[in-house]
Amino acid sequence: MEKKNIALITGVTGQDGSYLSEFLLDKGYEVHGIIRRSSVDYRERIAHLEGKPDFHLHYADMGDSMSLVKLVGKVQPTEIYNLAAQSHVQVSFDAPEFTADVDAVGVLRILEAVRTNHLEHSCRIYQASTSELYGKVEEVPQNEQTPFHPYSPYAVAKLYGYWIVKEYREAYDMFCCSGILFNHESERRGETFVTRKITLAAARIAQGKQEKLYLGNLSSLRDWGYAKDYVECMWLILQQEKPEDYVIATGVQHSVREFAYLAFKTAGMELEFRGEGINEKGVCVAGPAHLVGKTLVEVSEDFYRPTDVVNLLGDPSKAKNELGWNPQSTSFEQLVSIMVKHDMQKVAADHVAGVMRTNLAEYLEKGITK
Ligand code: NAP
Ligand code: GDD
């Protein structure tokens, strides 16, 4: 009988972890995920997977070597996808030590857990690396040969992760690889990343639940793809004959301003951007009558970073040629549309739930019993 593929995913509750779990379960894998104890027991992105026979969750933490060693020994994975991270760049300026512990030393802990359990020649490891390594970019577009210049505590921590994976590959002949992924978004994206912040705000403003959106650097350029497409690459990277690192990107670049323009347009409001820098504003020039003429987007220094990465554009040629992956299967326009449509429905549903709660509260308050 053919041996079952067993995947262990760190960061299973995150955006990518949830899509990767679905992808691997569809491929017939037994999927194990690491969760950490939290005061809230509801895991929104994977709630629909919990209870499936091949989906298992275990408590552990990237900061706790012992828990990782024990878990790797218990699960005996054939593939590990190390996605767990403090993944917010701006937060890494506020919590640099925690970020280094999880995003840098955490990678080492996973590699050592595999060695300690003598799985170094049977278990393949994927490391979630990032385009943030290019940071203060030295060339555009960026490919696997572009020099790194990390530009935040997050990127510096991830650079350690990248190098320690390469080191273990060379020193111990382990099949461990980094996917250098450019930004990828979805309707499951965390709400403080710029794309989701914009699509949720556009939906709320369109439905009268929010007045204005405050953003930081509108001119920042990103290569945005769809997360669902990117998890396939993580798997493809581990199915190759030789362990190698790959840039995963769309090869198309847009500014934060362009993202906001299209998201608001999709939600029924046309914006015109006027002014510059901190004084730039997005004014509604077409759409619902009560919004026309109003400033819906403003810039706030609160969202500026001490050092900001402003020109990311990936060259996915290697992934396209060697993995056979299509970098353009979801266009920028489709991505924005998926996210805005989802958030328009979410905001409407939250509204209905809110009204129901209010009605129930009123009902109980009035002492009505039937
Ligand atoms: P995400 O939504 O922020 O998910 C991060 C995951 O890491 C969550 O499951 C989180 O658990 C877990 N985690 C954080 N600290 C942990 C700890 N100490 N122990 C165990 N688990 C911990 O991130 P994502 O967007 O899915 O990204 C996945 C990975 O790819 C990350 O490593 C990120 O840095 C990297 N990456 C992302 C992108 C992108 O554009 N999305 C691009 C390049 C690289 P909780 O739910 O408990 O917080
Ligand atoms: N978050 C946020 N909020 N970013 C803003 C805002 C705002 O209000 N206004 C402008 N920006 C700019 C940021 O300064 C940055 O230049 C850009 O929008 C993208 O910011 P994020 O969406 O927070 O993502 P990121 O590029 O910093 O990091 C994401 O992508 C990396 C890959 O390049 C994260 O997913 C990282 O984990 C990932 O490694």
Q: Cα(308) to centroid of ligand 2, in Å? A: 9
User: How much is the pLDDT for 360?
Assistant: 52
Taking alpha carbons only, the member of 110, 105, 152, 118 closest to residue 133 is 152
pTM beyond 0.75: the answer is: yes
Q: How many CB atoms lie within 10 A of CB 212?
A: 14
Q: How many CB atoms lie within 10 A of CB 357?
A: 10
Q: Cα(85) to centroid of ligand 1, in Å? A: 4
Contacting residues for 294 by C-beta, under 8 A, at least 6 apart: 283, 284
Convert the pLDDT of each residue in 293-336 to its tens digit: 999 999 999 999 999 999 999 999 999 999 999 999 999 999 99
Atom 20 in ligand 2: residue holding the nearest Cα? 194
CA dist., res. 361 & res. 133, Å (int): 51
Q: Cα(322) to centroid of ligand 2, in Å? A: 29
From 10, 13, 78, 130, active-site residue: 130
User: How much is the pLDDT for 353?
Assistant: 75
Three-state secondary structure call for residue 185: strand
**Dihedral sign from CA coordinates of 340, 341, 343, 344:** positive
DSSP secondary structure, 291-351, as one string: TTT-EEEEE-GGG--SS---B--B--HHIIIII---TTSS-HHHHHHHHHHHHHHHHHHHH
Three-state secondary structure call for residue 369: coil
Tokens at residue 277, please? 């820098």
Atom 4 in ligand 1: residue holding the nearest Cα? 14
Q: Are 103 and 110 in contact (CB under 8 A)?
A: no
Strand partners, 58: 34
> Is 369 considered catalytic here?
no
User: How much is the pLDDT for 367?
Assistant: 43
CA dist., res. 141 & res. 247, Å (int): 11
User: How much is the pLDDT for 351?
Assistant: 78
Which ligand has the shortest distance to the CA of 14?
A: 1
Three-state secondary structure call for residue 30: strand
> Is 226 considered catalytic here?
no
CA dist., res. 347 & res. 206, Å (int): 10
Residues of the chain falling short of pLDDT 50: 363-370
Q: Cα(89) to centroid of ligand 2, in Å? A: 7
Ligand 1 site, residue 11, Cβ cutoff 6 A: yes
Q: Cα(125) to centroid of ligand 1, in Å? A: 16
CA dist., res. 38 & res. 160, Å (int): 28
Ligand 1 site, residue 243, Cβ cutoff 6 A: no
User: How much is the pLDDT for 359?
Assistant: 56
Ligand 1, closest atom to CA 158? 34
Contacting residues for 189 by C-beta, under 8 A, at least 6 apart: 15, 195, 196, 227, 339
Contacting residues for 327 by C-beta, under 8 A, at least 6 apart: 225, 248, 249, 250, 251, 316, 319, 320
Atom 23 in ligand 2: residue holding the nearest Cα? 193
Ligand 1 site, residue 87, Cβ cutoff 6 A: yes
Which ligand has the shortest distance to the CA of 219?
A: 2
Which ligand has the shortest distance to the CA of 34?
A: 1
Secondary structure string (H, E, C) spanning 62-119: CCCHHHHHHHHHHHCCCEEEECCCCCCHHHHHHCHHHHHHHHHHHHHHHHHHHHHCCC
